[in-house]
Amino acid sequence: AFALLHKRAPGFTALVCGNDVLAIGALCECAALGIRVPQSLSVMGFDDIDMAAGASPPLTTVRVPAAEIGRRAAARMLARLAGEAVPPIEELPAGLVVRESTGPAPR
């Protein structure tokens, strides 16, 4: 998908992916195409999976409390199925994990 995007709309300087797996794939394609990350293109993911820190370069990402999100979603679903009061929706913290895949936009 990244190769197609790059071919159709060259010149963009940042790529924000919906998850880390897509972002790591984009990093691999950048390497194959000779695109320097982050000098020419910043790449960012979402999830902070274990592979993100070991990517080349290490991936900037957003860390979310996935296990807690799952627990709360399950509690809401079980309460609804049981006809009980559904726990209120609450915001959970998310944090930016800055690593080496992002930098200033090239001039």
φ, ψ for residue 44, nearest 5 deg: -135, 145
Give the three-state DSSP class for 24. helix
Q: Tokens for 73?
A: 């979603």
pLDDT at residue 14, rounded to an integer: 96
Helix (H) or strand (E) holding 75: helix 66-81
State pTM to two decimals. Answer: 0.86
Tokens standing for residue 1: 């998908």
- Each residue's pLDDT tens digit, 53-84: 999 999 999 999 999 999 999 999 999 999 99
- The helix/strand count (H/E) of the chain reads as 4, 4
